[in-house]
Each structure stands twice: as structure tokens, then as C-alpha cells.
Amino acid sequence: MPQAPALTGGDAVAQARKAELEKAEAALKAAESKPKARVIDPTAPTTVVALKTTDSRAMRRQLDDIAADVVSYQCEVVFQVPRTEDAPWLKTLLQKRVRKLDSGFELKQKHEIQRSLPAQVVLIPHQQ
């Protein structure tokens, strides 16, 4: 019974297995290097986070987590605030945190006035 020439030599099979193993290891390393999401759902097209504006310490921690996810997932940010005065303040707080994590990151943020809603942030992750 004739055998295929590619399979008779052990080199071709060994090389194919080695290439497959290296590819799987590279995919595993890429998955491990991506930090775990803190507030964002990476599978959703957008994530809405209600800001804890009544507790400044909790809101600062919350903005730290939001900034980490914004940098990790290359998010665009939309602040939905009830008062016009709140938007520049929140945008500055987030900008400083993002700059601290990654000074080269270009943060895209805008705001909307939603008088009937409490302050919240909409995170839109960059889809690869």
C-alpha cells in the first residue's frame, strides 16, 4: 500500500504539530496579557455605569476603574449628566486618570445633558 510522501517523513508532522502548539501558546499569552475588565462588559456594544456622585471617595475609585477599562479596551466615553456644570468637571477627572495610566492614549469623550437621569457614563469599546 503506497503512503503519501508528506506523511512518511516524521519531520513534516512534527513541524506541523510544533507550529500548531506555538500558535496556541501565542493565543493563550495574548488572552492572559489582556487585563480583566473592572466595570465594562467587553462583549457588549456599550456599557452604562451610574456614577456615585453622592460619595466622592466611592466616585473616585469608580473613576479609577473606568479609566483602567477605557485604556485597556480603547473606549470612547459619553457622560450623561443632569447639569451642564457637571460635564467639564467629570471629563477632567477622567482625563487625568487616563493620562496617568497611559500618557499617549487619545481619550475621546463627549457629554449629553439628560435632566431626567442621574449622572452616568456610557463606555463604547473599540471593536477590533
Q: In this structure, are 9 and 60 located in the same domain? A: no
Total number of domains constituting the chain: 2
Q: In this structure, are 99 and 76 located in the same domain? A: yes
Q: What is the pLDDT of residues 5-61, one digit of tens each?
A: 555 556 777 788 888 888 877 766 765 666 788 899 888 999 999 999 999 999 999
β-sheet bridge partners, residue 122 = 48, 78
Q: In this structure, are 93 and 119 located in the same domain? A: yes
Give the domain range for residue 68.
Answer: 47-124
In a domain, 41, yes or no: no
Residue with cell 487616563: 98
In a domain, 39, yes or no: no
Q: In this structure, are 14 and 77 located in the same domain? A: no
pTM over 0.85: no
Q: Which helix (H) or strand (E) covers residue 11, if one does?
A: helix 10-33
